[in-house]
Amino acid sequence: MNVELSNDQQVLVEAVENLCADFDDDYWHARDADGQYPEAFYKALAEAGWLGIAMPEAYGGAGLGMTEAALLMKTISRSGAGFTGASAVHMNIFGLNPVVVFGSEDLKQRALPPLIQGKQKACFAVTEPDAGLDTTKLKTRAVKQGNKYIVHGRKIWISTAQVADKMLLLARTTPLEEVSKPTQGLSLFYTDLNRDYVEVREIEKMGRKAVDSNMLFFDGLEIPEEDRVGEEGRGFEYILHGLNPERILIASEAVGLGQIALQKATQYAKERVVFGRAIGANQGIQHPLAQAWMHLEAADLMVSKAASLYDSNKQCGEFANTAKYLAAEAAFNACQTAIQTLGGMGYAKEYHVERYLRESFIPRIAPVSPQLIMCFIAEKVLGLPKSY
């Protein structure tokens, strides 16, 4: 694996940096205050063609790999947009991977071009209140009636549902007691988010105010059979296909968040003078910042390794999960170090690092907990007995 960026990758990063420069700290501070979806930022990325970076060229995408997608997301986050900016477009980058791989040609033609062009937004409706990470225990039902499915149930922590036109929905089509394995009987759909039959209720939360999170209540939603992704009952298998890319992208966004926090803290340490000299001259300030840099660089290397393996169609599950774990912890450490470096000013919103700290909890919690990642590594890599 070559850790140096190619010329094309350097051009990519520079182009995204230039675009993000039009959306400065004041823009993201305002979105954090008013909670408005960053529509102008989203449109700018769509017009520049970045929303389809990892989508097939046949549908208007750039056809690039996970390595380039991770670079895009890290650069967005590192610009100061953080997880607000990254989450505004995250679904475009990885979310419809199951549709790309398993969807019918008709579904791909209907789904992919509008998403890539920024004409439609989609949300990822999987998680449920009573299931958590135990996806096989989902209770949302899609009952087939003729050539359509009728859906009843609930979903939780569904991002961008307030602004989404479409959703990727996982629901049980065969009752759990009627399948031989719990992973069977789940089906995946890409369909309209019809608010006549889906109540979208926003959840007030700690950070990333401008990108909404929601409870969804389904009451008789009708889904045409042609909106089903692949075969009935194989939705769990299809969802798994997109988990490694999701972890890689979340990790890259976390690295970017940690890097902007470290940048802010380092600049402050150079400029803030106390007792006649810059506070950055003190090892008590220097060492935590240096440690944060090293942790972020190590995490970034793991992101690159996981992305490279994915692009080479090689096994990458352990590395994608490790990247997500290391990057989330490194980002959190960098953000809290930034606040400590700025002291009282770190607690002030106008210096931005408190927003970064609030957002740094997102990759630690989602889409999989650090504890479950450690269980995965212990079982799948080290060969230890399953603990749950």
Please report the pLDDT score of residue 106 as a whole number.
Answer: 98
CA neighbor of 189 nearest in space, from 219, 220, 168: 168
387 lies in some domain: no
Contact 253, 195 (CB under 8 A): no
CATH number at residue 253: 1.20.140.10
Residues 81 and 155 in one domain: no
Dist CA 185 CA 177 (whole Å): 10
**In angstroms, how far is the first alpha carbon of the chain from the final one?**
35
- Asked if residue 377 and residue 270 are part of one domain, the reply reads yes
149 and 36 in one domain? no
Q: Of how many residues is the chain composed?
A: 388
Task: Judge contact between 260 and 355, C-beta under 8 A.
Answer: no
> Is the same domain home to 184 and 126?
yes
Same domain, 249 and 320: yes
Half-sphere exposure of 255 (CA within 13 A, CB side): 28
172 and 73 within one domain: no
**CATH number for the domain that contains residue 40:** 1.10.540.10
Name the nearest CA neighbour of 125 among 117, 135, 116, 115.
Answer: 135
Residue 228 sits in a domain whose CATH number is 2.40.110.10
Instruction: Give yes or no: residues 101 and 12 share one domain.
Output: yes
- The predicted structure's pLDDT at residue 3: 82
Task: Specify if 2 maps to a domain.
Answer: no
Asked if residue 15 and residue 109 are part of one domain, the reply reads: yes
CA nearest neighbour of 214 among 23, 29, 37: 37
- 132 & 214 share domain: yes
The answer to whether position 260 is within a domain reads: yes
Phi, psi (deg, nearest 5) at residue 222? -95, 130
Number of domains present in the structure of the chain: 3
Amino acid letter, 388: Y
Q: Are residues 218 and 301 in the same domain?
A: no
Residue 209 CA to residue 35 CA, distance in Å, equals: 5
Spatial distance between the Cα atoms of 347 and 198, rounded to a whole number of angstroms: 39
Best CA proximity match to 250, nearest among 293, 302, 291 = 302
Give me the DSSP letters along 86-121.
HHHHHIIIIITHHHHHHS-HHHHHHHHHHHHTTS--
User: Does residue 386 sit within a domain?
Assistant: no
Joined tokens for residue 73: 């997301």
With beta carbons less than 8 A apart as the criterion, state whether 111 and 96 touch: yes
Nearest residue to 53 via CA among 77, 80, 71, 33:
71
Residue (of 83, 42, 95) closest to 257 by Cα position: 83
pLDDT at 304: 98
User: Does residue 388 belong to any structural domain of this protein?
Assistant: no
Structural domain ending residue among the three candidates 180, 208, 236:
236
Residue 153: domain span = 122-236
H or E segment at 188? strand 186-192
Q: Are residues 321 and 367 in the same domain?
A: yes
In this prediction, the residues of the chain whose per-residue pLDDT falls under 50 are: none
Cα–Cα distance, 371 to 27 (Å, whole number): 35
102 falls within a domain: yes
**What token pair was written down for 211?**
């990108």
Q: What is the pLDDT of residue 132?
A: 83
| Residue at a domain's end among 188, 215, 236 | 236
Q: How far apart are CA 150 and CA 17, in angstroms?
A: 45
Q: Is the peptide bond before 224 cis (omega within 30 degrees of 0)?
A: no
Final residue in a domain of this structure, among 116, 150, 176? 116
Residue 133 in any domain: the answer is yes
Position 241 scores a pLDDT of: 85
Strand partners, 377: none
The Cα–Cα gap between 11 and 169 comes to: 36
The verdict on residue 349 lying in a domain is yes
CA 210 to CA 243: how far, in whole Å?
25
Task: Collapse the DSSP code of 164 into the 3-class scheme (helix H, G, I; strand E, B; otherwise coil) and give the result.
Answer: coil
173 with 293, same domain?
Answer: no
Residue 387's identity, in one-letter code, is S
What integer pLDDT is reported at residue 162 of this predicted model? Answer: 98
Alpha helices (H) in the chain, listed in sequence order: 7-20, 25-34, 39-47, 66-76, 82-90, 97-102, 105-116, 235-240, 243-271, 283-311, 317-342, 353-365, 370-376
Q: Is the dihedral of CA 328, 241, 207, 262 positive or negative?
A: positive
